[in-house]
Structure 1
């Protein structure tokens, strides 16, 4: 006869608490601790794991896709894959584990793992060894990069001039930044295929049309101008769908900040360009008054370039004659000349930056 509140273990017949213990089924719950632990595995682990790793970028093939796991070497890959493959018993609590990798050769790592946990108020420890075999492959992305695959080209050009080194360098920087942002979201199709000099500008080949469109829009947003896109049919895919490459032709404005221009049919004096987004904006170098091109003229008013801030030289101030005139020494002849005094000129300045052009001698703002 058993005490009230007790029953028998169905496996060995020993009395057990009728409340029962842990277990996934009623039979497991009715087992005594000895019989329960006799068939208990704290950890479910495979003997061997085979993993494909891209030899170029370190991505791991899981299921039907490649996954970037940020591993520095194959040992890190083995740790990550072992972690994915191991299963800990659902009844275990306060589980902790540590792993010791043993590199057997360049392609094989044996993972020695020790697990601890609490089951049925009993501290349990279990050790497992998993052999991870690594095979080197090339992922689809790296294959496309090696094959110089691209879906779009951004042509960076400018109206009436070549793009500046600042503009082309910035275009390359933006391309890499857009790709990095897309990679950070898990997009493995994003990459810069090639950046190369072209006649009157630079060409940037990109892996997708989405990146090309983003770059074209960003360049226009930052530098002004506009762009057009043109599709070219290159092939058909396996399903018979037409595959196109897209060229985004970016045209930057003719005038850039720092240029000094003479506006046609305008007698207000030359303009120092300060911005050219949407429409040209600047300041008159004769008076210091602001200038803004009309909506119709936009960023390309009828004008000619006289020079740039970089072309200016320091000229000695002889005297400030009045609010509208200042006398300075000609930077070339050193003869005293009276020129227009814009309101940005400091009356106490001993020298001023001056630009000499076909339109005469003009004082520019200090840099």
Structure 2
């Protein structure tokens, strides 16, 4: 077979071109495959780049608008945002192989960045280079999320209260920390609907307004799981959405337990005072007279009343250990020697011990 018989001819210029293999069934057909290299590269663009890119960035959170969505981007400044947007907008020819590219941003002014992009690739065994310049205009706006925050939008309120008392400063701060930490975790997972609208302190306890009802339920459950107590929900119909569905705003009433760890209580069961050690799940503690463990479920109104707290304890002198069930100590008020029950947790070699004096008597406390 002669050389001319093994060649085809370019339909544009008439020069001979090598015969190229037909694509396999199902593969795309290249309409330019019969062109010679010279004619092919006359109309060839290695890179398809827009004349200009406009980027809308939220001035509140830094999210970038892409289509109808706001997307959080992990960018240090607007140059990083511009690089990301140019990367998304540029297209490289499908026939190019071994493509590499680099970008050199030029800050024109505060809101304009000129992106100098350099590309290399191989097409038809021919190394190619191409440079494009894409201006990026940065505009500032407000995303839906920041707009809702600024407008005070909320869907649920978590009210933290306590039974027959007000929450302690530690309980107040911890409840707010739990709410803010949970929302931060949601935000970290990409949930743009999650935010804390407002934290308001009242005499009875904090009120935390949250963006969704789901957040309110999750936060209230987390608070009771750590601090004890229970939750009741109270929905209120506020409107209907565009589809006619009812929209509710829900108040989650967190009721912390009647007692807190460190309280010294009288359970009113004639077995003496109890030092409360935990209120998570059941009420747990230790009997001050014996050192025995104490545990009772929370059922409705928890029986008993508070006698004192561990903060009321004072250190006093151990006079003598009388036997396995009694120890003699100095009354911290009268300094008279007094015999009191010796609990299991008492150290018989101790020279001093913490005690608390209440209307139920004088009792030794654990160290």
Fold agreement, TM-score > 0.5: yes
Q: Is the 8 A contact 2:258 2:302 kept in 1?
A: no
Kept after mapping to 2: 8 A contact 1:318/1:336: yes
How many angstroms apart in 1 are the aligned matches of 2:123 and 2:289? 88
Partner of 1:322: 323
- Please list, as runs of the form range in 1=range in 2, the aligned pairs for 1:105-184 lying within 5 A after superposition: 105-184=109-188
Distance in structure 2 (CA, Å) of the matches to 1:94 and 1:123: 9
TM alignment of 1:1-367, pairs within 5 A: 2-3=3-4, 5-19=6-20, 25-264=29-268, 266-293=269-296, 295=297, 298=299, 300-366=301-367
Deviations 1:251-274 (A, max 9, x none): 00001111111111x121111111
> What's the CA shift string for 1:62-112, capped at 9, x where partnerless?
111111112232222211111111111122222211111112222211111
Whole-Å separation in 2 of the counterparts to 1:21 and 1:357? 99
RMSD between superposed Cα atoms in Å: 2.1
User: Given that residues 156 and 201 in structure 1 are in contact (C-alpha distance below 8 angstroms), is that contact kept between their aligned partners in structure 2?
Assistant: yes
For 1:328 and 1:14, the matched residues in 2 are separated by 115
Distance 2:331 2:302 in 1: 30
Shift of 1:26: 4.1
Measured against aligned partners, the alpha-carbon deviations of 1:36-72 in whole angstroms (never above 9, x if no partner) come to 2222211111011122211111111111111111223
Aligned equivalents of 1:105 and 1:249: distance in 2? 52
Secondary structure class of the residue paired with 1:50: strand
Deviation at 1:123, TM superposition (A): 2.0
- The question of whether the paired residues in 2 share the 8 Å contact of 1:78 and 1:132 is answered with yes
Aligned with 2:308: secondary structure? strand
Q: Would you say how many aligned residue pairs link Structure 1 and Structure 2? A: 363
Kept in 1, the 8 Å contact 2:176–2:206? The answer is no
SS at match of 1:30: coil
Task: Please report how far the alpha carbon of residue 300 of structure 1 lies from its aligned counterpart in structure 2 after TM superposition.
Answer: 4.7
Stretches of structure 2 lacking an aligned partner (at least 5 in a row):
none
Distance in 1, matches of 2:327 and 2:128, equals: 93
How far apart, CA to CA, are the structure 2 residues paired with 1:14 and 1:270? 106
Q: Which secondary structure state, in structure 1, belongs to the residue aligned with residue 32 of structure 2?
A: helix
Check whether the contact 1:5–1:19 (CA below 8 A) recurs between aligned residues.
no
Q: Does the CA contact (< 8 Å) of 2:241 and 2:247 recur in 1?
A: yes
Q: TM-score, normalised by structure 2?
A: 0.93
> 1:225, 1:299 within 8 Å by CA — same for their partners in 2?
no
Q: Tell me the secondary structure at the aligned position of residue 210 of structure 1.
A: helix
Deviations 1:178-221 (A, max 9, x none): 21222223221110011111131111011111110111111111
